[in-house]
Every structure is written in structure tokens, then in C-alpha cells.
Amino acid sequence: MLHIVNKSPLERNTLDSCLAAAQPGAALLLIEDGVYAATRGNRAEGKLRAAAQRLDIYVLAPDLDARGMGQSLAEGIKTTDYAGFVELVTKHKNCQSWL
């Protein structure tokens, strides 16, 4: 399953809910304000580092760059572009958007 989170971990608990429900082997894609979770030094960094042991974690690079955070990507998180976003959607049988 592909889990898609678009909310900042600083204003919502969406990421926490997603990480609690995601099964090993799933993928997580952070988009829009969700990309803040993928940056060094924020409170979600440790959670993502732990989750990376069981999930493939991606961040949408154009959204990261649009927020000026391109140089702050946390270790172990992969970037993808819009074409990669489409590939992730087609690769996974199910997608869950976390609002």
C-alpha cells in the first residue's frame, strides 16, 4: 500500500496515525506540507528514521523545494518527482491519502 500524507506534523497528527497503521513493506509519500516531516531537526525526524526500517519513505521533491527545504532533507528519505509519484501509485495496489 502507498500511504500519502500532505499535512505538516507540526499542526496535525496525520503522520502519527499513518505510521501506526502502515504495515511493513508499504510505502509512504510525503507531499505538500507533509514534506516538513522529512527535514532534519524537526520532531518527526526520529519517527521517520524508525519507520524507514519497515517502510519505503519518499518525499515529493518539487514540494520540498517550493518550501525552501531542499537542502534540509533527513537521511534515508528518497526524493521523487511527479513522474515518480505516478510510478508509486501504479506500483501499489492500494493508496491511502491521510487527511
Delineate the domains of the chain, giving CATH numbers in brackets. 2-98 (3.40.1260.10)
- For the residues 51-67, what does the mean pLDDT come to? 96
**Which pLDDT tens digit goes with each residue over 69-93?**
999 999 989 999 999 999 999 999 9
Average pLDDT, the chain: 95
| Backbone φ and ψ of 46, nearest 5° | -65, -35
pLDDT of residue 16: 96
pLDDT at position 99 over 90: no
pLDDT of residue 28: 98
* Neighbour count for residue 44 (Cβ, 10 Å): 22
**Which pLDDT tens digit goes with each residue over 40-49?**
998 899 999 9
